[in-house]
Structure 1
């Protein structure tokens, strides 16, 4: 029997001050073949390609889904790369790591706190209804209706919101 492995993914908790309020970018999931997951609230995220640097993957996924250009990723400056015996390896610390243990498909998601330039597109092939949601509103939505969010993003959002003032 062939083994099946978890898929490495990256997610972006994009933060920005809008109208004097700290906000996080929230979008509605609209992925082909996602079925009942479509319409759930989420952050920009996607799969890491083979041998792709996770920070490059994060920038690519954010741009593909939102049209934004990532300008800062918390923790990127502390990442270490080393080449030994023909291997180039990188060590980094994401803001939060979440693993899907059942349902959907097996994902290992590394979430990072980011800043980005520009404004989100109106919609993309994988997401829509982008909005800079004030942290207090996001916190309330997450507490009152966690089922409205894509499950893999709930803990990272909750962790970030617990560290920030409303």
Structure 2
């Protein structure tokens, strides 16, 4: 009798194991942005660089999945060294591309700084400015950057 119970239990366990292992997509998809919203958060997001989503189709597929990421932050594409490499010469091609990519996916865009000590262009980092001059340089840079993306970047 004991042997019969053991064989029945073993058969039940094996049947269950086989049914689970052969089931398609046995593991549910983990959607972090969906979970965040279900828990009263605004979004779950990530930071990225343009080269990552342009050159890597698997990466692009993952970050444009709004179930995973409801928000994107440009990792370096809007840093001072990228958008104003020379005094007064702004180049927004990469930043614009990032914004278009996120908006095209229905994702929020979060900006995180206009001035960061690690991504200053050489002309700023090595410049010899008076206090008044550097204040004007920073105000011009920040005003131009923020003005360009006003209304497109979330708070």
Could you say whether these structures have the same fold, taking a TM-score greater than 0.5 normalized by the shorter chain as the test?
no
In our comparison, the structure showing a higher alpha carbon Rg is: 2
Q: Determine which structure has the larger helix proportion and give its number.
A: 2
